[in-house]
Structure 1
Amino acid sequence: MSASLSNVELPYYAVIFTSQRTIGDQGYGQMADQMESLGQDQTGFLGIESYRKSSGAGVTISYWKTLEDIRQWKSNPVHQIAQDRGKAKWYQSYSVKVCKVERAYDFEHEDIE
């Protein structure tokens, strides 16, 4: 899913989660869908983008209004279960970065004939 944030007031925050998956699904896909749905219901959630290569390397970026919104999401009990399962069986490694977005712009190519 791609996040369109062109109408969002600046600044806002991005949580960049880069990861290397382990082999096999082991319930990952279902939990990922659940986390995306749950995240959309959280206060301050603005959008999400996620990409994964066939090698298992991936990037998920979630966007939030405030740092407090991010803290609330991190402490969500269902999200904490997903975090624990991720450490136990879904990820070989991961990295999290929280960034403040102070400037953002978009480009969309119009059809050329």
Structure 2
Amino acid sequence: MIAKTPAPPYFAVIFTSIRNNDDEDYLETALQMEKLASQSPGYLGHESAREEIGITVSYWENLESIKNWKANLKHQVAQKLGKEKWYSQYKTRICIVERDYSFENM
């Protein structure tokens, strides 16, 4: 589903990753992180897709909200596990959404 975001400006965190073959606890942790992020102040929504490369984009009201999410202790544990177990490579990008537009054919 496409996240419903407010009128710009707002911020996006783009997390691009390549997984290794260790799936132990990955899905459970990913679901916990989605739930935890959604309860964080400033969270606006997210979108995610995974094939050979995974891309998750989360949307936030401001940079302070993003910093607080990164500093969340449970999120820090998941970040550590990601480096140690689940990812062979990842990159995080933070950007300002200055404009958006949409189309729905429903």
Question: Which residue is equivalent to 1:66?
Answer: 62
Question: Which residue is equivalent to 1:96?
Answer: 92
**How far has the Cα of 1:65 moved from its partner?**
0.2
Cα RMSD, aligned residues only: 1.0
Please give the alpha-carbon distance, in whole angstroms, between the structure 1 residues aligned to 2:66 and 2:87: 21
Question: Which residue is equivalent to 2:32?
Answer: 34
**How far has the Cα of 1:108 moved from its partner?**
1.0
Q: Deviations along 1:50-93, whole A, 9 cap, x unmatched?
A: 0001x3x1000000000000000000000000000000010000
Please give the alpha-carbon distance, in whole angstroms, between the structure 2 residues aligned to 1:86 and 1:78: 12
Please give the alpha-carbon distance, in whole angstroms, between the structure 2 residues aligned to 1:29 and 1:92: 16
Aligned residues: 106
- Between the aligned residues of both structures, percent identity stands at 49
Aligned with 1:17 (options 15, 22, 38): 15
Write the letter of the residue equivalent to 2:81.
R
Unaligned runs of 5+ in 1: none
